[in-house]
Structure formats: C-alpha cells, structure tokens
Amino acid sequence: MTSKSKFRRKALTGAALAATLAASGPAMAQGKAAAGAPSEEAVRARADALIAQMTPEEKAGQITQYFDFTDSPDEARRVTDEMAAGRAGSLLFVHDPAELNRLQHIAVEKTRLKIPLLFGFDVIHGLRTIMPVPIAVAASWDPKVAEDGQAVAAAEARAAGLHWAFAPMVDIARDPRWGRIVEGAGEDPYLGSAMAAAQVRGFQGAYIGSAGRIIAGPKHFAGYGASIGGRDYDEVNLSDSELWNVYLKPFKAAVDAGAGNIMSAYMGVNGVPATGNRWLLTDVLRKTWGFKGFVVTDAGAAFDLKTHGFAASTEDAGVRALSAGVDMEMAPPFGQSAFKTLPQSLAAGRITTAQLDDAVRHVLEAKIRMGLFEKPYVDLKQAARVLADPAHREVARVAAERSAVLLRNEGATLPLSRSALKSVAVIGPLADSARDTVGPWVFDQDDKETVTVLAGIKAELGSGVKVSYSPGVTLPARVNKSIFQSDEQFAAGKAQNVDDTPELARAVALAKDADVAVLVLGEGQIMIGENASRSSLDLPGRQQELLDAVIATGKPVVVLLMSARPLDLKGAKPAALMDIWYPGTRGGTAVANLLFGKVSPGGKLPYSWPRDIGQLPLPYAHLTTHQPKTVEERYWNEPSTPLYPFGYGLSYSTFAFSNLRLDKTRVARGEAVPVSVEVRNTGSRKADEVAQLYIHQRYGTAARPVRELKGFERVTLEPGQTRTVHFTLRPEDLSYWAASTRSFVQDASTFDVYVGDSSAAALSASFEVAG
C-alpha cells in the first residue's frame, strides 16, 4: 500500500531526545495561549483571508484528502491534476521524504493560492523505530511509556515530512475477537483515558506546531470497539449509559489534552452512521466538549453513508457528513469522493457558504499552526539523520520491557540462570519472524533493524550456551485476504501446503535435548488489527499440538505469547507464561533481558483474560444484579470468573500492600478524598509493582459496577523498600452519567475503596459522600 522510503533513517541524539521528551509538558487545549504558539485570533484571521479568495471548488478540494495511489498510474494522475488545480488539501500514505517534497512543490509552487498540503500517515506505534503495539504499551500501566514512545514517533514522522498521525486509537474493546483491540488500551475507560492523553502529549508536545511534533488524531469517534460479536465494521448498539461512562471517556481525555484532530468512525451507532451523526460530531464533540480542531472521516466513510442506506446519493452523503460536523473527507479512491459534490450542493442551496467555510477554516488553521506556509518542505539531510538515531531504539527497548506481563511462573522458573544453562531450545513460528515481532500497522519494515526473540536470546547467551532453533509448525493462511496483503501475498499463503509433522517432531527432539525450552507462540501480525477479527481464541494452526508435545517432554517450558488478545491454551500449564505482545524493533533484546533477569516484568493486563471464548464479553466492571452471591456460577459448567483478572501480572519479586488510609471518611459533594497506601517489596529483587485503586458506590441514582478503576501508579522498589503511594479521588471520579436523569450526577452514598495489585484487590476501606 505504500512506497518504500529511500532513506536509511537516523534520529535525535540521546541528549537531544532527552531534551525533547523533557520539553513535552501537558498539552495545551487548542486555541489557548502557549509559549511559541500563534494566537487564536491571528490564526483565524489568516485562515479567513485565504477563504475569502477561494472558489467553492477550491474549498471542497481543501477539505478532501486523497490516497497516494503509487500502484495505480491513472488514479495518481487524477489526484495530481486535482492538486495542481488547488483542489486537494491533504494526502495520505506518502512517507518518502523526497516524494513528499515533490508533491508539496506542486501545491506550493503551481497553484493559485499556494496552500501547502497536509500529509497524514498511520503512525500507530512508530514510523521507523517501532514501539510495542498500543495494547502492549497500555499493559505497562505507565503513561510515560506511551508519551515517550509517541514523542519518538512524532520526531521521526515530522523529520520525514509528515504532519499528522491517525492515532491514538482510543476505542474501548471488551470483546477480544475484535481485531483492532491491538491498537487501543483494552477494556477500561480510566486506563484508556490515561493512555489517550499521554499519547496526545507525546505526538503534539506543548502545543500544535511544537518543533518535532505532529497533530494527533484520536479515533474512531465513537463506539467502534463495541461492534456486534467483535466483527470488524459491524454495527454498534450501546446504551447512553455505556457511551458516556465507558466509550466516550478516552475521547474526552484526548480532547482535554489538546488533540488537534478527531477521526469519525465507519459504522453505525444505534442506527445512525457515526460519520453522519450530528449529535456525536457537533452536540457532544464541539458544543459540550469545546473541541476546536478538525474532524476527518475514516477511509471512505462519507461516501459510504449511501452504502449504509442512510444517504440517498453521493451528493446527499456529502451534505449529511458536512452538516453532521465532518471537516475533511478521507476519500479513496478518486471516484468515491462525496465532498467533491459540495459545490453543486452549495449552488442548489443544500448547504450554506458558512457551513463550507467553517470546515475549510478548521483545516487551514491546522496548517497555519503547523507552520506549513513558512516551512513546507523536508530537509532531506536532516531526515536521514533523525530517522536512525540509536536513542530511539532504546526507547523502544524500554517500552517492550515495561509492557511484558508475566502470567505464570511455577517454581520460580524465571528468570533463567545463564550459569546453570548449557543448552536452550527456542521453538515456535514467531521466534525468528522479524515482521511478526513488530506487529501490524507497520509500513516500512526493515528486518535488519528488528531484533527477533531468537536473535535476542543468542546475543544474550553468546557462545557459552548452545541455542537450537525450530519453528516447530507453520502459521495457517487466512481464509480471507488481509487489507495489508497484496493479492500475490495472499495467493502465496493460500497455496502453501506444508506438512508440519517432521518439523514438529524435530522441535520436540530439540526440547528433550535442552535444559529449557522457550516457545514463542501466538498469532501472526496479519491475524490481528483492522479487518482481522477472529471467531476463535485458540492458537492458530498446530501450535497447541506443539505446545502439548513439548510440555510432555518433562523439560521446563517457558511460553512467550506474541499476541494482542487473550488466547486459550486449552488448560496447558507451562512452567512459565509471559505475554510479550508484539514487542517492536528491539523486542528480542527486551525479551532476553526479561528472561535472564536483567529486568523484572511489571506489566499488568489491560483486559480480563477469559477461560474460553464462551464467556465473552467479560468486563470486570459489571453490575451486581439481584444475585450477586452467584456471580461465579453464571455458567453451570465452569466458573464465570476470568482465568486472569483485569490488572493482573506477576513479578520476579513479591509485594505487600498495607496501611490503607483515607484522609476523610465523610465528605460533601464536590470534595476530594485523599487516599494513601503503603507498598513494600517483600522479595529479594528490585522490581516494579502497580498500585491500583478501585471504588464501588453502594447505592444511588443508578446501580454502579462492582469495581471501577480510579487510580494507579507504577513504582520501582528495592528489596525491603516501602513506599507510600498517594491517590486523590476527585469529584469527577465519583460522578457518572445516569440514564434516569440523562445527566451526570454525583450521589450522596457510601463508597468502598479497594487497593492492591489487580482488580481482585482485597485491602479495603470506605467513606461517605453526604447529602
């Protein structure tokens, strides 16, 4: 889908990177004063001066974004002609700096008004330096990891000539069958909000237009993660209570952090397509939240208002999207642009000049804030330097280390002792796959830059320990083609007919001859992501057979899961089990550091891990209902509880929580409640723990969930060290949207507080909000 960059990339020096990250304070809400940023008045005046000179056709073009179809000469020519006529405002999927300059030259030098193009790209978890996938970063429970990673991504993107990321994806996902769970922060709105805000700060810096930063584009507004059955692109039906209390919260956090763009979703929400939903895009986003940036559709979502059976025609689709609050149409391909019909709708009186101008103004203001009129071109030498600095790779390594979640560690199998090992068998189809190690949404993969798990283990052990390797089995081909596969790649995958039996037997033999077997199992990167929902949580192909056979050897087995959704191991119990997700460019180095104890895993699950697929969805924040004592008996054939609860994760050390204190046990509405707890490292290793605070409101205007996350902090403790962790329960943490009043309320009620290492925390106290 993309052209390959011609540049071997270099990045900021370590000192410059540190300075860049340190300068990333809280993002300013767009339009507010920030040092170095132009005033809102000056930006608007400049935009209005341009709008006054534009024809309706130029206005419609300015709010249209075209794909860069490098593999379709006819399509590319049509788009280029539109650019030369001043009828294209943005392009996406261009990331070669030289090509960006060529295209920008057309817009800046060849058009009547010389308005530069805005270049967007799917910078989801890195451009050249690939961070762990977003769900992995959420598992770090460390917003700084998210912020630092996206600051690196922004630095590389801006150096390459990009201005805008279609990220972060902040959709809540409570059904792991949905493939796009990989792009978000999991099931919880509080954790999701923290990660959303951190990523916006990382992308944008202190204000839109900050040096080395780009515009953040939170998506998909709103509710996309609740598609029926976890089926991508399917409809969404959510109560208003779920919308306000769960699915909208991360978007609100992103807007409050200053996000300059919002992407509307493809699908219908309660019967109304999100891209034509004025209540969402205008009433909520602009009027209630005060959003001042620009709204872009997801690919083809305006044109597809007709496909939904919502709009009567392409012209009607353009009118309804613009009227709902869309400012820019992402319009692939050229012949499927709804906004191209806006001039004739204006002439027919179906839209007003003011409506059209508002959308154009939002887009022009973004270009002005980004400084594109002053500096439209890429410095090619600077791009080559910025896109390859080792400091960026170090950020990726640390992120991968902090994201890993240790789920099982019987008999302290991990960390492995180098001195006690003579041989290690590394087994699995993902153990030495560079492309799978970095995960989905990577368009400029360089295998030489990526450290696989096998390579990381070999580098760590050197020549003193024998490392044998077998893929064991192959991953099966998809039934349908991934949007990230070419026709040729899909056909080649379907045509493969490999008999795994000989290699599986060889893998088992290697395990028998080794001191320990390290199995790297999971899903290939084309098995997760957009257009990659799945009706099963089983290990694909014959991986389960491989796992069972290796465990049967009696040798210690360490399983590393490379996935983004919980997988069903069918009761298999390896000695150790760690979720390493898709760990990114330096994933293998990070995994080796974790395996051999250079660092201790401290990540926590960002979702509940079901026992099997029949339990889904299984959010921890459920209501008590009228039979709370039987909550674990909802199914007669197995417990209704998860295999691993939300927030769960082990360490190479142990921790104790004690002395939970509430500064106030009775407060009035609107008052905060300070909370503190002591966390002690009771083990013998330096390690991290995540202190998690949950609340339960006993009664009120509506029934509330049994537990809701309202605070967390990741702390590093030396052996024997105790630290007091402080939280503050704010009035907004004690408020919620009630269906009975159709408004946010804070009730007079009794609240239970739980603090510990997961959503199953036992340490508790209570306080009262007085009427």
**What integer pLDDT is reported at residue 6 of this predicted model?**
27
And the tokens for 222?
């709103």
* Domains contained in the chain, CATH given: 14-59+119-385 (3.20.20.300), 405-601 (3.40.50.1700), 655-770 (2.60.40.10)
Q: How far apart are CA 315 and CA 350, in angstroms?
A: 10
Residue 2: pLDDT band with limits 50, 70, 90: very low
Classify strands 687-697 and 708-717 as parallel, antiparallel or unpaired. Answer: antiparallel
**What integer pLDDT is reported at residue 34 of this predicted model?**
72
Question: Mean pLDDT throughout 206-222?
Answer: 97
Other CB atoms within 10 Å distance of the CB of residue 354: 7
pLDDT above 60 for 576: yes
The reply to whether the predicted model has a pTM over 0.75 is: yes
- Non-local (6+) Cβ contacts of 753 within 8 A are 660, 662, 675, 693, 694, 695, 729, 764, 765, 766, 767
Residue 11: pLDDT band with limits 50, 70, 90: very low
Q: How far apart are CA 196 and CA 218, in angstroms?
A: 8
Residue 69: pLDDT band with limits 50, 70, 90: low
**Which residue numbers are catalytic?**
298
Question: Mean pLDDT throughout 256-278?
Answer: 97
Instruction: Give pLDDT tens digits for 342-378.
Output: 999 999 999 999 999 999 999 999 999 999 999 999 9
Residue 490: pLDDT band with limits 50, 70, 90: confident
**What integer pLDDT is reported at residue 403 of this predicted model?**
98
And the tokens for 631?
């909550």
Residue 51 is inside which H or E element, if any? helix 40-51
Q: Of 426, 425, 476, which is closest to residue 452 (Cα–Cα)?
A: 426
pLDDT above 50 for 582: yes
Query: Which residue has tokens 């990989």?
Result: 182
Residue 43: pLDDT band with limits 50, 70, 90: very high
Q: How far apart are CA 96 and CA 112, in angstroms?
A: 26
Residue 68: pLDDT band with limits 50, 70, 90: confident
Average pLDDT, whole number, for the chain? 93
pLDDT above 70 for 1: no
**What integer pLDDT is reported at residue 3 of this predicted model?**
34
**680 or 627, greater pLDDT:** 680
Instruction: Give pLDDT tens digits for 498-512.
Output: 899 999 999 999 999
Query: Which residue has tokens 């205008």?
Result: 282
And the tokens for 356?
């059209």
Q: Of 537, 698, 555, which is closest to residue 628 (Cα–Cα)?
A: 698
Amino acid at 36: G
pLDDT above 50 for 9: no
Q: Of 100, 212, 206, 97, which is closest to residue 154 (Cα–Cα)?
A: 212
How many residues are listed for the chain in this entry?
A: 771
Please name the residue ranges forming H helices in 232-352.
Answer: 240-242, 249-256, 278, 314-324, 342-347
Percent of the chain with pLDDT over 90: 86
pLDDT above 60 for 25: no
Instruction: Give pLDDT tens digits for 133-173.
Output: 999 999 999 999 999 999 999 999 999 999 999 999 999 99
Instruction: Give pLDDT tens digits for 673-713.
Output: 999 999 999 999 999 999 999 999 999 999 999 999 999 99
Q: Is there a contact between 657 and 755 (Cβ–Cβ < 8 Å)?
A: yes
pLDDT above 60 for 35: yes
